[in-house]
Structure 1
Amino acid sequence: MTITSKVRLEPQVDGCSAVDECRLLGSINNESKQTESCWFGRVQMLPIGQNRSMPISTCDQDVDDLQISSIARFPARSPNREAMIVSINKLLSPTNGKNSYIIGAEWGQGRTAFGGATAAVMCHLVMQRPSPERNMISFSVTFCAPVTVESEIEIEVEALRRGKTLEQYSVRAKQDGELRAHAVAVFAGTVNSAIKIAAETAPLRPNDIAIPEQRLAVGLNPRFEANFDYRFYKGAPLYSGSTDREHLVGISFKKPPSSRGLAHLVCLMDACPPTPAQQLSEYHPLSTVVWNMHFLPSAKTFDLAQGIIMSSYGEVGIDGAHYLNERVWSHAGLPLAFSTQSVMIFG
């Protein structure tokens, strides 16, 4: 179906105000939903004389005029998802050999970068600062403003304190002179302790259950999603109208990196979908505000090629603010990390 009709973009979308009108020119089918500048996921369409809502990809009728009342906009993407897959090692390579990075469009969600890519770059640089025998035990990130893809960001690392047992660092990500994200990293040496509390093993082994690969969300699939393989053992993709408040998801890189480190794990962990958003039945913007990660020594040595299993539980959500508790295991069931997130859902 080809649409060459005038449409009204009612919500403000990428600079289009409520009164803006534009001409939508594009060929739309089940494989590709794109124009020159954007592609559309789930769209509520109101053909003249009708009152019905449908995903645009399932509309097989000729339409003379459409009113679009809700729209999700991302940069144009090739129908060939394989062409978008890149290795995370490219993401972690500084442009100046030191502390400047460019997060490519393949790690984008619209014009902005996937938060896991930003956090991974910050983690990668700060990991080079402490004494090698010390392990990162905590990495707490506050996302202050969106990071634009294909534009240079500068990472600044400042030592807050280097003690006999602990080292603490401040990490700042800046773009165009503005602070976009801030993190505090804590490293610790080994301490002899009489108290040992074992972490719980994974609730399942992926080899025990055959689950096909699934998409991150219903109708909306930003570019970064193509770099990951998703298997939902519990819960559902985003915007699926599920009643669950928990996710248990297997996540791995489509192109496993040749090297590994905590930065790779950080990127995998943030690929886990924000659990409460599976209860939505249509697109609403969302954003992680604060993310606190805590790592076990095993996180440095697990088999990255196999990916992770991640549990995410929505503890409470009120007035748009949602609080998540998360646990991470290796593919073999080895405990790797714990985290909490504060997420805003705008709708």
Structure 2
Amino acid sequence: MDMPTLAQVIASLEGEPFGLDAPPSWSQGRTLYGGMTAALAWAAADRILPDLPPLRSVQAAFVGPASGRLTLKPEVLRRGKSATTVGVDVRGDAGLAARLTFFCGSPRESKVAHERIAPPQAPAPGDLPKVLGSGQGPTFAANYDIRHVSGGLPFAGGEPEFVMWARLAAHEGADALVSLIALADVLPPASMPVFPEFGLISTLSWSFDLDALPSNAGAWYLCRAAAESTADGYSRQSMDVWDERGRRLLAGRQTVAIFV
């Protein structure tokens, strides 16, 4: 299987609306995994609107499979004095695959600043073994180096929570923010430790807010996903990403359909 790097996939975006063939090595089942779909959408928006203020918040609805020939169409929904809202539709061979909204805002002087969320205690990633070996896990996971810190493992029992270090395996030429968006969805659904058997999953929606912007596409990030409630075939989870300095960069929520 051809294994293009993240930078190579982004560079393959062409035309307007943008188009590319969904790379199988970045897939989860029959679709691109959600992090890559969102990363492509942001890269497309940033390419035609290079003067956007810093990205602050993202909402993504995953409607259908992002497979085959993809087209991405960014559109400015509103541009104000300090904030710009951009929508991006992603279409595949089966029709609409995802609809994303990006909220960008310029920084303003403020007398209020605080950070109340501390990262979990974790050994350095170099002191931990890799979680997935060759041929294990979903296809896209081969693009990452992932180290288990705490929480259960899929189908192994334990708390419905994951804490893991992760980094992009081949980061040369990649944009730091595009890389973070792709990586932020790298953990399995947090309900998987309590699955009694293998079951399919599908992300329905994902929203996240950015507390700070990354500067290094190859950095290690401490990722946490925790299932808060699971019932009726759906799981709601919270998600956080910290850098090695202990700064939280991203906080999100996700609704996942589970078929088990």
TM-score (norm 2): 0.90
The Cα of 1:268 is off from its aligned counterpart by: 0.6
Structure 1: gaps (5+ residues):
1-76, 78-83
Which of 167, 191, 213 aligns to 1:299? It is: 213
CA contact (8 A) 1:215 1:237 kept: no
**Equivalent residue number for residue 89 of structure 1:** 7
1:134 and 1:237 map into 2 onto residues whose CA distance is 39
Measured on the aligned residues, the alpha-carbon RMSD in Å equals 2.3
1:215 aligns with 2:132: yes
1:337 aligns with 2:250: yes
**Equivalent residue number for residue 69 of structure 2:** 152
**Equivalent residue number for residue 198 of structure 1:** 115
**Equivalent residue number for residue 178 of structure 1:** 95
Q: Secondary structure of 2:184's match?
A: helix
Q: Secondary structure of 2:141's match?
A: helix
**Equivalent residue number for residue 272 of structure 1:** 187
Which of 115, 135, 140 aligns to 1:224? It is: 140
Amino acid corresponding to residue 329 of structure 1 in structure 2: W
Structure 2: gaps (5+ residues):
none
The Cα of 1:324 is off from its aligned counterpart by: 0.7
Count of aligned pairs between the two proteins = 259
1:259 aligns with 2:174: yes
2:49 and 2:9 map into 1 onto residues whose CA distance is 22
**Equivalent residue number for residue 60 of structure 2:** 141
1:208 and 1:250 map into 2 onto residues whose CA distance is 6
Q: Secondary structure of 2:119's match?
A: coil
Amino acid corresponding to residue 311 of structure 1 in structure 2: R
Which of 148, 157, 165 aligns to 2:82? It is: 165
2:176 and 2:118 map into 1 onto residues whose CA distance is 21
**Equivalent residue number for residue 282 of structure 1:** 197
- Larger RCO: 1 or 2 (CA < 8 Å, sep 6+): 2
1:333 and 1:227 map into 2 onto residues whose CA distance is 24
TM-score (norm 1): 0.69
Q: Secondary structure of 2:101's match?
A: strand
Q: Secondary structure of 2:213's match?
A: helix
Higher strand proportion:
2
CA contact (8 A) 2:221 2:244 kept: yes
CA contact (8 A) 1:135 1:187 kept: yes
2:158 and 2:132 map into 1 onto residues whose CA distance is 18
Deviations 1:123-179 (A, max 9, x none): 11122355636111011110000112xx22110111111000111111100123711
2:110 and 2:226 map into 1 onto residues whose CA distance is 31
- The change in CA–CA distance for 1:205 and 1:234 in structure 2 (over 3 A counts) is closer
Deviations 1:256-301 (A, max 9, x none): 23232322111111111110012114211111101001112x3242
- The change in CA–CA distance for 1:334 and 1:205 in structure 2 (over 3 A counts) is farther
Which consecutive segments of 4 or more residues in structure 1 shift more than 3 A? 128-133
CA contact (8 A) 1:86 1:255 kept: no
